[in-house]
C-alpha cells in the first residue's frame, strides 16, 4: 500500500458530508457513490450498457456466490469479472462473510475460517481469510473486502466482542495475504451495537492499515435510530483521508443520512429487488405500481425523472406489465430505480460541491412530507 487512494474534492461547512475521488485500476470513482449490486456477475434486470447509461460508476459482486458458481478460476480465464461480464468500470467484491452469516445452519466459524455447505448442492467448502483475498484477486476486483464474521441483532456484549476480535484477526491475515496487484483492500469495522467495541475495532484496523474502511453489521434488524447512532460513534475514529463505506445500506433516506455523517460509499439490493416487487422510488417517496389507482394513469412514474422508463412509459402500462407478470416489468422498473439512486448521488455531490448540502437534506425530506 503506497498511501490513500482517496482525494478530497469538497466538504460541507455544516456537517461531515464530503465529495472525493477513489482511484482504482479501472478509473476514479466520484464520491459519495451508490454501487448497484451484481451479486452473481449481473445486476438483475439490466445490461452493463444500461448501467453505464444510468450513471453507475462502480458495481458490486460477491465472492461467496462466484466462488461456488461458476468458480473464480474460470472467471480468471476471462480476464476477471470485467471481461467475464463485459463491464469496463470499477468493481468491488464483498468477501462473502455476510452470505456465510446468513446461512448459519450450513456454516461453522472457527479461527481458521468459515466451513460451510453450498446452498446449491450441499457440498462442503472452506474459505479462510487468505482464500477470500486470493479468490477476489482472481476475480479481478478493483476493491476487495476482508473476510469478516457478522454479528446478529440482538447480540450480547460477550458474543459481539468475540466476533469483532475474530474479524480483526482475520483482517490482519487478509492484509498479509494480499499480492502486489494494485487492487485495493478495505477493512471492515464490526462491533455489533456497542459503540466502544466499534471504536476499538476501528482503531485496530487503522493500525493494521488498509486502503479504505467499511462499516459492517448494520441494517441487520436494529432500529434506524440505533444504526445512525453507531455511524455517528464510529466514523470519527476512521482516518479522514481514506474512503468510508457503509455496507448493505440502504434506502434513499439512509444514503442522505449516511452522507451527512461522513460516509462515501454505499451498496444495497433495494433498487432492483424493490423493482421486481413493484415498488418504485420517486422524488416524492415510494410508489407501489400494482395499486389500482394507476390503472389508467397516463403520467410517468416520476414527472421529475428523465430515465428511459419515465420518458417512454406510463404508470398504467407499467402496472399492466407487473400485473401480467411480464419480464419487461422487471427491466423497466429496475432501470427507473437504479437511475433514481444514481441521480440522487449525483445531486448530493453537486450540493456538497456548492456547500448547500444542509439545505438539500431539508428539501429532500420536505418533498416527501408534501406527498404524505
Transcribe 45-58 into DSSP letters. Answer: T--HHHHHHHT---
The chain-wide mean pLDDT, for the chain, equals 96
Q: 166-203 pLDDT, tens per residue?
A: 999 999 999 999 999 999 999 999 999 999 999 999 99
| pLDDT at residue number 224 | 97
- Would you state the torsion angle of the CA atoms of residues 337, 308, 51, 339, taken in this order, to the nearest 10 degrees? -30
**Does residue 297 share a domain with residue 233?**
no
Establish if 1 belongs to a structural domain.
Answer: no
pLDDT band at 103 (very low <50, low <70, confident <90, very high): low
DSSP 340-364: HHHHHHHHHHHHHHTT-HHHHHHHH
pLDDT band at 101 (very low <50, low <70, confident <90, very high): confident
Choose one of 225, 244, 268: the last residue of a domain.
Answer: 268
| pLDDT at residue number 335 | 98
CB 276 within 8 A of CB 334: yes
Does residue 32 have a cis peptide bond before it, meaning omega lies within 30 degrees of 0?
A: yes
Choose one of 242, 268, 294: the last residue of a domain.
Answer: 268
**Does residue 332 share a domain with residue 245?**
no
Round to whole Å and give the CA distance between 55 and 320.
28
| CATH assignment of the domain containing 255 | 3.20.20.105
Structure letter (DSSP) for residue 325: T
Q: Containing domain of residue 353, as a range?
A: 275-371
**Does residue 313 share a domain with residue 173?**
no
* Residue in the block written with cell 398504467: 316
**Does residue 172 share a domain with residue 88?**
yes
Number of domains in the chain: 2
| pLDDT at residue number 372 | 40
- The C-alpha cell of 308 is what? 428511459
pTM over 0.95: yes
**Does residue 151 share a domain with residue 222?**
yes
**Does residue 281 share a domain with residue 138?**
no
Tell me the catalytic residues. 94, 267
**Does residue 279 share a domain with residue 264?**
no
CB 196 within 8 A of CB 168: no
Q: What is the sign, positive or negative, of the torsion defined by CA atoms of 36, 37, 41, 44? A: negative
Amino acid at each position: 500500500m503506497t498511501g490513500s487512494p482517496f482525494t478530497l474534492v469538497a466538504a460541507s461547512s455544516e456537517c461531515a458530508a464530503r465529495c472525493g475521488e477513489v482511484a482504482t485500476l479501472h478509473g476514479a470513482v466520484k464520491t459519495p457513490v451508490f454501487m448497484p449490486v451484481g451479486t452473481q456477475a449481473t445486476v438483475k434486470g439490466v445490461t452493463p450498457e444500461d448501467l453505464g447509461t444510468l450513471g453507475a460508476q462502480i458495481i458490486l459482486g460477491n465472492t461467496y456466490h462466484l466462488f461456488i458458481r461458476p468458480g473464480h478460476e474460470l472467471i480468471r480465464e476471462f480476464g476477471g469479472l470485467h471481461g467475464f461480464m463485459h463491464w469496463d468500470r470499477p468493481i468491488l467484491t464483498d468477501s462473502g462473510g455476510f452470505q456465510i452469516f446468513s446461512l448459519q445452519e450450513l456454516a461453522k466459524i472457527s479461527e481458521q475460517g468459515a466451513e460451510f455447505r453450498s446452498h446449491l448442492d450441499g457440498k462442503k467448502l472452506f474459505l479462510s481469510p487468505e482464500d477470500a483475498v486470493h479468490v477476489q484477486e482472481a476475480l479481478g476486483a478493483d476493491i476487495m473486502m476482508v473476510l469478516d464474521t457478522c454479528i446478529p441483532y440482538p447480540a450480547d456484549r460477550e458474543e459481539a466482542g468475540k466476533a469483532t476480535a475474530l474479524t480483526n484477526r482475520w483482517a490482519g491475515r487478509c492484509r498479509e495475504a494480499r499480492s502486489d496487484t494494485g487492487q485495493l483492500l478495505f477493512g471492515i469495522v464490526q462491533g455489533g451495537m456497542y459503540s466502544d467495541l466499534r471504536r476499538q475495532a476501528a482503531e485496530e484496523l487503522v493500525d493494521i492499515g488498509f486502503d479504505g474502511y467499511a462499516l459492517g453489521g448494520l441494517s441487520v434488524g436494529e432500529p434506524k435510530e440505533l444504526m445512525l447512532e453507531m455511524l455517528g460513534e464510529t466514523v470519527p475514529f476512521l482516518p479522514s483521508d481514506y474512503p468510508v463505506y457503509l455496507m448493505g445500506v440502504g434506502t434513499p433516506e439512509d444514503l442522505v443520512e449516511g452522507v451527512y455523517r461522513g460516509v462515501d460509499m454505499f451498496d444495497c439490493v433495494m433498487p432492483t429487488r424493490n423493482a421486481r416487487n413493484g415498488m418504485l422510488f420517486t422524488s416524492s417517496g415510494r410508489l407501489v405500481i400494482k395499486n389500482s389507482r394507476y390503472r389508467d394513469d397516463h403520467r410517468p412514474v416520476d414527472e421529475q425523472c428523465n430515465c428511459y422508463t419515465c420518458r417512454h412509459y406510463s404508470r398504467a402500462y407499467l402496472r399492466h406489465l407487473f400485473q401480467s407478470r411480464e419480464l419487461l416489468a422487471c427491466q423497466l422498473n429496475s432501470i427507473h430505480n437504479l437511475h433514481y439512486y444514481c441521480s440522487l448521488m449525483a445531486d448530493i455531490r453537486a450540493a456538497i460541491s456548492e456547500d448547500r448540502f444542509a439545505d438539500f437534506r431539508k428539501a429532500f425530506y420536505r418533498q416527501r412530507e408534501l406527498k404524505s
